[in-house]
Amino acid sequence: MQICIIQSCYIPWKGFIDLIRQCDEYVIFDSVQYARRHWHNRNRIVTAHGVQWLTIPVVSKGRFDQSIAEVEVSEPWAEQHWRSIALAYKRAPYFSELSPMVENWFKEAGQLPLLTEINELFLRGICAHMGIKTKITRDTEYPANGRQTERLLGITRAAGADHYLSGPSAKDYLDESMFEAAGTKVTWMNYANYPEYKQLHGGFDPAVTILDLMFNTGPDALRYLNRQK
């Protein structure tokens, strides 16, 4: 059984979705500290005028130690984000087909008070649409002690997993020897060599929300998560 444990992101890019689909279970690791100017509450879309950031406004002033799970939305945002997306992708090949579903996600997300709930709603919707069957849980379902590697290992063992798939950024702190001693294999995710697809505007930019892939490739979207050798 392979597991990944990572913080949630706002409508993440295709690499994040690929990481999840390669696992039997994805644990939303949102009890860790919220980081400003991270992907937790923002992402990018491709527009006729270049790449544009979409950021969910959140309450962060004076709350430097709050976890991602505690972060609250500070003002209405969903309608504005949807308008920006609709304007940017209205001429995309599959926008008219997918827009009712995606617009409904934004309507539901706009009623939620917590960032982590918003991120989970989009994530579950995207995975369901793309036919990704990975089990999605929260770290609070697996109480674990310690920091960094010890905590991740505790969740992995509590979930009954014997393989741990990690994003490459964790190489700065993850102690593989602790996993090996516990009989758990660590594999590092590789985000290289995803095939390009035709975007509406300008040259190809891979570091954008997966909505870009969905609106431009429709039923072929899953194929673009298969990395080229």
Tell me the pTM.
0.95
CA atoms of 123 and 17, how far apart (whole Å): 8
What residue has token string 């993440």? Answer: 12
Name residue, tokens 């984000």.
81
Average pLDDT over residues 204-214: 97
Per-residue pLDDT tens for 80-137? Answer: 999 999 999 999 999 999 999 999 999 999 999 999 999 999 999 999 999 999 999 9
pLDDT of 62 above 90? no
Under the banding of pLDDT at 50, 70 and 90, the label for residue 37 is confident
Mean pLDDT of 50-72: 95
The domain ranges of the chain are 2-225
Query: 146-200: per-residue pLDDT in tens?
Result: 788 999 999 999 999 999 999 998 888 899 999 999 999 999 999 999 999 999 9
Residue 229 has pLDDT above 70, yes or no: no
> Which residues lie below 8 Å from residue 211, measured CB to CB, with a gap of 6+?
11, 45, 85, 89, 102
Q: What percent of the chain has pLDDT over 90?
A: 90
Q: Is the pLDDT of residue 15 over 90?
A: yes
- Please, what is the average pLDDT of the chain? 95
- Structure token pair of residue 19: 């990481």
- 138 alpha carbon, distance to own chain's centre: 14
Nearest of 52, 36, 133 to residue 85 by alpha carbon: 52
Q: What is the pLDDT of residue 79?
A: 98
Find out whether 135 and 25 touch, Cβ atoms under 8 Å.
Answer: yes
- Contacts made by residues 195-203, CB under 8 angstroms, sequence distance 24+: 195/223, 195/224, 195/226, 195/227, 195/228, 197/224, 199/46, 200/46, 200/48, 200/88, 200/89, 200/91, 200/92, 201/46, 201/47, 201/48, 201/50, 202/46, 202/50
